A and B are shown apart, each in its own frame.
Chain A
């Protein structure tokens, strides 16, 4: 719809530019010249049947009249010409009526008509020229009368196109005038001089009539256009009224929605003027501060800001007023009961199109409880790391000392029990460490210290550190393909942690007396480390969540062998934090290959 209306506008604008509206000339200019021409052609063809009939009838009478006398063959020939011209004209008329849209190629139809008219006129001229000299005086009068009648009769018939009339009349007059002039009779010579004058007058009349027709048609078209424009404008106006009404309803609805939203919102909403005087508050704000709306409206907003923050508040308020940009931040707000709440505020200036601030909207969310929760969580994490680890240090330390025998030899049963106690104490410590690591990673607090490290050395160190663990399961670690000197960019301690996880997993699941193979190879821009075991493999159902948290294929196995189910999840996150990749695949011949890749240093 918009497209057409734009096009309409363009057309209107163009026509307005062409001529001033309201004047007749201006209106006429709007008519399409082709449409006007087509109308004129239509007019000509519309009364063509009259000309055909007249030609036929008068031709018949004339033939009858000339028949009595000499030159019968010539009369017969002429009558034949009349019939041919009549038939051809009839055919032309028929063709025109059958043709498609009348506007299509009006010039061509006009040319055909011109040819028909010229032929017709020339035939009458031929009659005049041939029969006039050979007939009696009475018949000559008849002939002159006939020709004069045919010529003047042509005026109304061809009035819509004076050149056609001029052709037609010239066809009649020219041969006849020649015959008159060369007849040798003084009177006839004088008439021959008058005939062109007579012809000229007739053409002038036809010209005048053509002008009248032309102007009439142009006006008709122009008014047609005007009416179209008018009704189009009317339609557009109606459409715009409907749109305007819809828009008004929408604005009303969204205004109501906004009002409801502000009123029922759980966040405090204050409206102020540009000086900071409160003009409106919502329910949540009343509840938050403990003041009623009536008590707050009219007060300066700083009434709700602790005095020690006034300087900063004023600075940011001024910045907002001058920049028109929203300001956001935490503010400590005093309540009626003397307590403080900490709110996360957004102050947004409402600016009208002229650039004036008409109001300032403030939205505040009470984050006191949230901040308290964050503090408690932080404290809890810190407690977990210190207060839980300290007693565990004593427990594990004591058991270790006992188990090393420094406190004396133990009875066999007691010795076995203290080993169990030490192992499980260690497991508890591992779990706490894993939980803390996970918490740090997920809260984004874990920072790495990447460095260029020799991967071979770190891998060997990990093998040494985990040797004792492997011996517990009667599994040994073998470095199958070392890469001496190859460096990577990674956090040394964290690579050790990843290796420890992979080695201890491999040891746990390897058959007794078996070996875990460690392979290293260059993989494009990375270095790849593989830990290959001959264990039972990863069950199909477990594969998708193996790197998830608390992932364990078989809980009985974990109870027997230890492990928190967090190890691989931590490994995956650590490797990814070091821009590496981690994964696993089945080992040909049975078992599993866990691998990770780290960027080369």
Chain B
């Protein structure tokens, strides 16, 4: 369990509506600091400058999907250590297994409840080494 509480979240998501809901949920309900990235190709730059505690990646995005962003993160020393939580509507067990194998910290399935989202993230944060 990390020593400090979860505060800074970087969220990569192309859907603006969901961006807004997640931002409001995390900021207002969870009292966290959120950086939302709409273009996944810009995600790594944003992470480097924002220095998040945890990264949330949407699974399905145009141009570049969540797993692709994750793989790129693993290649860069300043992002490879960041814990990653996937948000996905594809709840097939096969996909979840694949994510776990890739080293994801956790998954949250869509649709999620914005009321509970901060708590869900904190649960995952607590279980990190």
B-binding residues in A (CB < 8 A): 385-386, 389-394, 396-398, 400-401, 404, 406-407, 429, 447, 449
Contacts and interface: CB of A to CB of B under 8 A. Distances in A.
Nearest to B109: A389
A236 B109 CA distance: 82
A393 B25 CA distance: 13
B112 interface: yes
A398 B17 CA distance: 9
A386 B91 CA distance: 10
Contacts, number: 58
Nearest to B22: A397
A397 B112 contact: yes
A258 to B, nearest CB: 47
A231 B60 CA distance: 90
Contacts of A389: 89, 110-111
B21 A397 contact: yes
A393 B111 CA distance: 5
Interface in B25-48: 25, 28-29
Interface residues of B, number: 20
A471 to B, nearest CB: 15
Contact of A396 (B29, B93, B111): B111
B89 A390 contact: yes
B18 interface: yes
Contact of A397 (B28, B60, B94, B111): B111
A444 to B, nearest CB: 14
B15 A397 contact: no
B18 A394 contact: yes
A400 B89 CA distance: 19
Nearest to B27: A406
Interface of B: 15, 17-18, 21-22, 24-25, 28-29, 60, 89-90, 93-94, 110-115
A106 B93 CA distance: 95
A400 B22 CA distance: 12
A392 B114 CA distance: 13
6 contacts: A392-B111, A398-B21, A401-B21, A401-B115, A406-B25, A407-B24
Given A401-B25, A406-B24, A447-B93, A386 B60 contact: yes
- List of 5 A-B pairs having minimum Cβ-Cβ separation, nearest first: A393-B111, A406-B28, A394-B17, A397-B21, A397-B114
A500 to B, nearest CB: 15
A406 B29 contact: yes
A257 B80 CA distance: 72
Contacts of B111: 389, 392-393, 396-397, 429
A390 B19 CA distance: 12
Contacts of B25: 397, 401, 406
Nearest to A387: B89
A386 B18 CA distance: 14
Nearest to A382: B90
Given A397-B18, A401-B28, 15 more contacts: A385-B89, A385-B90, A386-B60, A386-B90, A390-B15, A393-B18, A393-B112, A394-B21, A397-B22, A397-B25, A397-B114, A400-B113, A401-B24, A401-B114, A429-B111
Contacts of A391: 17
